Structure 1
Amino acid sequence: MHKKEWTIPPDFILGAALSAWQSEGWSGKKDHQDSYIDLWYKENHHVWHDGYGPAVATDFKNRYQEDIGYMKTIGLTHFRTSINWSRYLIDYENAVVDEEYALYIENVVDELIANGIEPMICLEHYELPAYLFERYGGWESKYVVDLFEKYAEKVMERLGDRVKHWFTFNEPIVPQTRMYLDAIRYPFEQNTKKWMQWNFNKTLATARVVKLFREKKLAEQTGAKIGVILNPEVTYARSTAPHDQEAAEKHDLFFNRMYLDPAIKGEYPQELYDLMHKHDIAFQFTEEELNIIRTYTVDYVGLNLYFPHRVQARMNGWNEQVPFHPRYYYDPFELPGKKMNPYRGWEIYPRIMYDMALRMKEEYGNIEWFIAENGMGVENEQRFQNEEGVIQDDYRIEFITDHLFWLLKAVREGSNCKGYMLWAFSDNVSPMNAFKNRYGLVSINLERNRERSLKKSAYWFQELIKTRN
């Protein structure tokens, strides 16, 4: 099938995303306003590629007007970013707002709207304040849930009249998976029970903020909606054999249904409770908290999809001296002959869009949703410059085209998908990889004062948005 067979609905979102910590830089940041990411960078500077991290990033904080000008040139309908919780407040316990940073955020929102771009605001994209991490254990603490709600209220008071797309978290499962399940990020502690508590408390925090949003009647005032951005790991079993199918079901339970079910259906799968009890990893909860989760489900969800996850039944026994990990039930499976992005080490399998879209339709009540992130990171893109200095990223155009094809096929078949957001608007800092792999429509030249320039994909995306076919 070819691109010419597409039909992109006229109101279908075609936008792009960036997070605060990956773009803003530390300009104007006060010493006590470190986020968890800042703390990690300071503690483990050596693991970040070429030493680049969030300190300067793309300097979006000082160059947002320039960047939004590029967004307008491309024609983006929507732009998603986050607010850096650690910088929005100067007192996390009492939710005292940092007026300088809050004004910057308001200016960004106003600049987007003035340029015809709809702002989409996420309240936490790994920007947990370091103070709350070090003092209370971060999302291990129910008290931090209280403080997050206070922070959300302050943001809604300032932006509730302008922002129509609200999200509690981006990829809420990721930080603690890297920190406490796989122990590959600071503080490098393998602690599955702590991992589970972080997962539960973030789900509770989402429900609490949805409750706050409803009490403030923002939907009635502006037509606003609130949701969460998840990164389901679209799971495929090695074979149709029962043992491989069970391995895929367990993987799906721990990494997908863990968040999708309570956010959308308002409840956790019974099997998850059973396995938590069996392996002594149960999170602490109250019936009142479960009732809040049951009552305050999201209006819609954003899904970040990049690559498939293939699993098989475990081939060897589990070392009982090792704390429980979901891999107790599965091993990764390497599909022979798979198409790869060699720079990121990820398989390219565009059908994940279609398969996840049909799942949203069939298993999750056909709730409204959209692709919140999809993209391709490539190393050393400067080698693809033409004589005019434009990066000829045809591989990115092919990647987007193939994934959009499968997504729009699902839309034609009735999946309630409302849009596609590219990761990312511009090249930006990623955890540890820093600027190694570039994802942007807009190039950031580190050797020339972070000079911006449009890649070939930006001109292609511009035409796609204009013609919708």
Structure 2
Amino acid sequence: MSMNIIKGFPKDFLWGGAVAANQCEGAWKEGGKGWCVADINRFQADIPLNKRYNEELTTKDINEAMKDLEGIYPKRWGIDFYHTFKEDLKLLKGLGINTFRTSINWARIFPSGDEAEPNEEGLKFYDELINEIIANGMEPLITISHYEMPLNLTLKYSGWYSREVIDFFVRYCQVLFNRYKGKVRYWIIVNQINLIIHESFNHLGIAEDKVDNLLEAKYQGVHNEMVACAKATQYAREVDKDVHIGMMFCDDISYPATCKPEDVLANYKRNQMEFLYGDVLLRGKYPGYAFRFFDDHNIHIEFGEQDEEVLKNTADFMAVSYYYTRICDAESAKKKKTTYDNPYIKSSDWGWGIDPIGLRTKLNMYWDRYQLPIIIAENGIGAFDKVEENGSIHDDYRIDYLKAHIKQIKEAVLDGVDVIGYYPWGPIDIISCSSSEMSKRYGFIYVDLDNYGKGSGKRTLKDSYYWYKKMVESNGIEL
């Protein structure tokens, strides 16, 4: 038997960078765009760094935020990518990357979410953006839903909890697949679909006062969302035989805190419910452990008559965002906060445990389970960057972080894992997703804006820019 062992990254490996529309575009009232969930994410400076997360909201909270002219909502202005994308993409091209991931803001295409026809002005903006990505030699990887649900779908309906939203979303997907056939080959339908605890309002758009049982509503909502994903996948293949559809995890697979059998079992059961979304969207049906979980927690999920059949339209690849790892024991598993910090690893300023070896471990776990190509759609470290008097930015900490993680990806490839792409998060500084602040920076390119939108907006290349450029040129050999 011959052994075909890959010694490094494949020649056609996708080296890129990733952003989201709601974190970079700004122009929140331009081009016919409607209100989206990200437009009401407020920056709160008085909250500790590791506690800055978007919270559950009520309809009262939403309406107050929509009327608020005094609060700080940084995603409303972003980095003005809506107007600067041509210049920014030229800088990104200078990295030598061959792909770029961004999202389409749902509320630019269907401002209220339930219109019969799309907003042509919004589509024309993405026509230009996608054409510019391609013109700069980059393969577009487009996310269809990345925390940009039209707020009307929360207020008039109940977000993804309302089954009507399935058809609204599928219509939106159909418009995109028809419009960008032949231009966009790689799609992620929903960003980090397993996030129903953190970022759950941003993800599902369910106001807690509109449902009786919020946990049940979240699982019903994500069920409806997965049905919509499967319907969209089926349609995409009818339109374009060369399309590649991905489902995406935010990696939250935890380690058992000890080898105590109770801790191992509790952690395993917790991790099963993280795998759930991949088991449905990549394997095509609900697993038995999910029904046990629903029964144990008195959760009732309503299936449509054709849902089981529809869910057989599975995705082609899995995408994953990887930032940190945490641990779980039997006691923590009983609580709402089921995981906690690993004492054996260091953390970022925002409390995210830095674990490069964990990335290799997780890639092997996902590969063993699904045997499908894997794209690392996000990876990076949020940090405070200092601009020196001469304008330079020495971010060795970012280089060290990325270098260590890429090294472990290479090891995973040697293990036989079919990793086909790597997209560092925020190759240009953007507004933080979880904390809505600018000071939590990820980029190779510095953007002169602060948490309050003040600054020149000037773009400056950091030391990491030149390191990543050299690494990409060597196809991952020179770390």
SS at structure 2 position matched to 1:332: coil
Asked if the contact 2:326–2:341 (Cα under 8 Å) also holds between the matched residues in 1, the reply is no
- Structure 2 counterparts to residues 357-436 of structure 1, below 5 A: 357-364=363-370, 366-379=371-384, 381=385, 383=386, 385-431=387-433, 432-436=435-439
Mark the CA change 1:176 to 1:238 in structure 2 (over 3 Å): closer, same or farther.
closer
Q: Spell out, residue by residue over 1:394-449, the C-alpha distance to the aligned partner (whole angstroms, 9 max, x if none).
A: 00100001111111101011101111110012111124332131111111101532
Asked if the contact 1:313–1:330 (Cα under 8 Å) also holds between the matched residues in 2, the reply is no
When normalised by structure 2's length, the TM-score is 0.86
Q: Is residue 139 of structure 1 aligned with residue 139 of structure 2?
A: no
Mark the CA change 1:115 to 1:30 in structure 2 (over 3 Å): closer, same or farther.
closer
- Structure 2 counterparts to residues 448-459 of structure 1, below 5 A: 448-459=455-466
Q: Which residue of 2 aligns with 1:244?
A: 263
* Deviation for aligned residue 1:75: 1.2
- Structure 2 counterparts to residues 215-226 of structure 1, below 5 A: 215-216=238-239, 218-219=240-241, 223-226=242-245
* Deviation for aligned residue 1:182: 13
Distance 2:470 2:284 in 1: 41
Q: Which residue of 1 aligns with 2:300?
A: 282
Q: Which residue of 2 aligns with 1:195?
A: 218
Q: Spell out, residue by residue over 1:94-142, the C-alpha distance to the aligned partner (whole angstroms, 9 max, x if none).
A: 4422222211101111111111011111111011111111111110011
Distance 2:395 2:79 in 1: 20
- Structure 2 counterparts to residues 166-185 of structure 1, below 5 A: 166-174=187-195, 177-179=198-200
The percent identity for this pair of structures is: 27
SS at structure 1 position matched to 2:76: coil
* Deviation for aligned residue 1:267: 1.6
Asked if the contact 1:39–1:130 (Cα under 8 Å) also holds between the matched residues in 2, the reply is no
Q: Is residue 334 of structure 1 aligned with residue 341 of structure 2?
A: yes
Q: Which residue of 2 aligns with 1:270?
A: 288
Q: Which has the higher strand share?
A: 1
Match of 1:353 among 339, 354, 359: 359
Q: Is residue 228 of structure 1 aligned with residue 229 of structure 2?
A: no
Q: Is residue 205 of structure 1 aligned with residue 192 of structure 2?
A: no
Match of 2:171 among 147, 150, 155: 150
Q: Which residue of 1 aligns with 2:18?
A: 17
Q: Is residue 298 of structure 1 aligned with residue 311 of structure 2?
A: no
Distance 1:181 1:163 in 2: 25
Q: Which has the higher helix share?
A: 1
Q: Which residue of 2 aligns with 1:117?
A: 138
Distance 1:94 1:26 in 2: 21
The answer for unaligned runs of 5 or more in structure 2 is 1-6, 43-61
* Deviation for aligned residue 1:232: 2.4
Match of 2:448 among 445, 448, 454: 445
SS at structure 1 position matched to 2:78: coil
Distance 1:33 1:181 in 2: 15
Q: Which residue of 2 aligns with 1:93?
A: 114
Mark the CA change 1:116 to 1:88 in structure 2 (over 3 Å): closer, same or farther.
same
Mark the CA change 1:32 to 1:123 in structure 2 (over 3 Å): closer, same or farther.
closer
Q: Spell out, residue by residue over 1:254-284, the C-alpha distance to the aligned partner (whole angstroms, 9 max, x if none).
A: 2x21211111111222011122022211321
Which 10-residue stretch deviates more, 401-410 or 171-180? 171-180
Distance 1:266 1:56 in 2: 40
Mark the CA change 1:74 to 1:180 in structure 2 (over 3 Å): closer, same or farther.
closer
Q: Spell out, residue by residue over 1:5-26, the C-alpha distance to the aligned partner (whole angstroms, 9 max, x if none).
A: x833221111001111111112
Mark the CA change 1:198 to 1:44 in structure 2 (over 3 Å): closer, same or farther.
same
* Deviation for aligned residue 1:336: 2.5
* Deviation for aligned residue 1:84: 0.5
* Deviation for aligned residue 1:387: 4.8
The number of aligned residues is 442
Amino acid at match of 2:19: L
Distance 2:282 2:194 in 1: 16
Which 10-residue stretch deviates more, 426-435 or 111-120? 426-435
Amino acid at match of 1:78: T
Mark the CA change 1:172 to 1:413 in structure 2 (over 3 Å): closer, same or farther.
same
Please tell me the root mean square deviation across aligned C-alpha atoms, in Å.
Answer: 2.7
The answer for unaligned runs of 5 or more in structure 1 is 1-5, 316-325
* Deviation for aligned residue 1:234: 2.3
Q: Spell out, residue by residue over 1:332-373, the C-alpha distance to the aligned partner (whole angstroms, 9 max, x if none).
A: 34332421112x111101112111111122111x20111000
Large movers: runs of 4+ above 6 Å = 180-183
